[in-house]
Each structure stands twice: as C-alpha cells, then as structure tokens.
Amino acid sequence: MQTRRIGDRDVHAVGLGCMNITHAYGPPMDEGAAKSLLSRALDLGCDFFDTATLYGFGRSEQLIGEALGARRQDYFLASKCVLGFRERERILDARPEAIKAACEASLKRLNTDVIDLYYLHRPDPNVPIEDSAGAMADLIREGKIRYYGLSEMGEEQLRRAHAVHPVAAMQSEYSLWVRNPEIAVLDACKELDVALVAFSPVGRGFLADPPPNPETFHATDMRRTMFPRFLPEYYSANLALLDEARAIASEAGCTVAQLALAWTLAKGNHVIPIPGTTSLAHLEDNHAAAGVSLPQEQVSRLDAHFAPERAAGPRYSRAGQATVTTEMFDFEKSFHGG
C-alpha cells in the first residue's frame, strides 16, 4: 500500500474529502447513504478523512462522528475552523478565542476527544496569522489537536505561521487543471517538511470521463457561480484539453480520474490528494489510483499539455479569489483586476 506522511502518521496516499456529502455540488446525500460511503472508505483502507466546520453547517462532522466514531483509532481525522457559521450564516473569524470555541464544538460533533489535524480554513485579514497559529499551538499543548495546518494560503503566510509553531499540512487546490501550488507553495512545503494536501484533485469532476455537463448542475451547485471555468464562455475550450488525458489514461490502463490522481501523487512524496465523491463506484476508483504509477514520460506530457495558461478562465470568481491568499499566475491576474 502506498502511504504518505502527515506529522508522524503514515496514511493511505489517497484520502477522502468530505465536503460533497453535505453541500457544494447539490443537495446533501441521504444520511444513510453518506454513512455507508464513509464506512466503505474505511473498509477499503482509506484512513484519512478531511472535513470542516462549514461543511453542511457542521453536519459533515456529525456524520463522520456517527458513522466512524466507534473505529476512531483506525483513521486520521482532519477538520477546519475560521470559516464557520452562526445561526446558519457563514462567518470568518480567526481570533484565538474563536478558534478555541470552534474546536470544542467540532470535537463534540466528531464524537472524539482529539482532532489529528486542525486547519485554519481561510486567512482572516483582520487577525495576524501569528495570533491564529499561537491559538493552534495552545490547542496542541492542551491535547485537543495533534497537528495544525493552513488552507488556501500562500508561501508568506505559511512561513510566518511555521515560525510560531511548525505547520504539518497546507491544503491547496491542486490538479492538472489548477497548478497554482507550483508557483511557490509546493516547494516551500517540501523545504519545511509540510504535507501538501491537494483538494479537488479531479478538478471538481472535470477530470473524469465523462466530464460533468454544467447545464445539468443543481441550482445550489457552487460550480454555477464560484468557478468560472465551468461557464459556457470557457467550458468548451477546457473540454478540448481532455482528449490527451484520455489517450494517456488508455496507455496507462486507468481511468481519467485515476490518471489525474496519479499525476498529483507523482508531483512529490509530500503530496496527498483528497478527492471527494458521493458515489461508491467513484470512491473505489479513486482509492485504487494509489496503485497507478506513471512513468516520467507520461508525467511530462501531462505537464506540458495542461500547462497553466492553457486553462480557459480564472480558477475562482472575483468574490472567491478575494477570500484566499494563494499565489496566482500572471495570466490569471487580469481576470481579477491585477
């Protein structure tokens, strides 16, 4: 079994992102089906589950606690704070007291006495990262979390937080379709011995075969508004990228989604993809991607074919981009007034 390391823990090389089961790309899953999917993932050997306070306004955490709580020693558990909710309204609060209160609430929902990896979900422009990192260090000393991480932040904030207390993981969107960590964060993580946890490694479904049809997206699907590459003016140009991916997947004897995950794994031993899904078939397909090894020739062909500037449209809408501090390529800056 291929594994990757976070802190002092070895986990399966492909984890499970647990956003989809409660929101983001449509209505929440049926709760029984969601619990079955979580249990099946653990049975397969997936032992890294990644959730957040915000997902389903805490319901994703609750489902993990209900479905897997009795098997708590068998998996590595990650959750996130800062992006949270108050009376079912989204809030952003990275003050130390808010972080500690959020952790207490997450522990209860997750049915556990310790969270293995606790992230700052987004940068809070009103709170110095050093203050938030200090709160995480306090939680580690108190035994409520084992490690802390950052999400959707750039190299500068990574280094500043790491100087306060070592960061165990940086979560960033990373896939053939989104190469932004290669600007700075990927190498900085390697230098600092920080795991790079790659979310949306299958491009929010784009790097699948067949890819999604935006015309069928549910009214609540965030891809309708937050991720412009799915908009009509860009999507057809992006679809043209998939022909080469299909050809290389055929050569490699794997699905396109497995190819996307295997490429991500090939970008460094510190990289851990966490695809999300609501499908048992896709869950098994994604998990098996850890067994796909791509020769360097195929990795190089994919690197060139999916060169960052070949993606049509910006990664985020302007509103979405304003909430993160991840580095942008020059071609992206023009979309956001840079």
- Could you read off the pLDDT of 179-207 as tens digits, one per residue? 999 999 999 999 999 999 999 999 999 99
User: Residue 198 in contact with residue 177, Cβ under 8 Å?
Assistant: no
Catalytic sites, residue numbers: 55
pLDDT for the residue 337: 77
Q: Span 228-251, mean pLDDT? A: 97
Q: State the DSSP string of 201-269.
A: TTGGGTTSSSPP-GGG--TT-GGGTT-GGGSHHHHHHHHTTHHHHHHHHHHHTS-HHHHHHHHHHTT-T
HSE on the CB side for 223, CA within 13 Å? 21
| pLDDT range class, residue 334, cuts 50, 70, 90 | confident
Provide the residue ranges of all domains of the chain, joining segments of one domain with +: 3-333
Q: What is the DSSP letter of 318?
A: H
- pTM for the whole thing? 0.97
> Containing H/E element for 148?
strand 145-151
Here the tokens at position 253 are: 């004897």
Which class would CATH give 3-333? alpha beta
Beta bridge partners of 16: 49
What is the distance between the alpha carbons of residues 115 and 133, in angstroms, rounded to a whole number?
Answer: 16
- Could you read off the pLDDT of 129-178 as tens digits, one per residue? 999 999 999 999 999 999 999 999 999 999 999 999 999 999 999 999 99
Residue with tokens 């991916």: 245
What is the distance between the alpha carbons of residues 248 and 212, in angstroms, rounded to a whole number?
Answer: 20
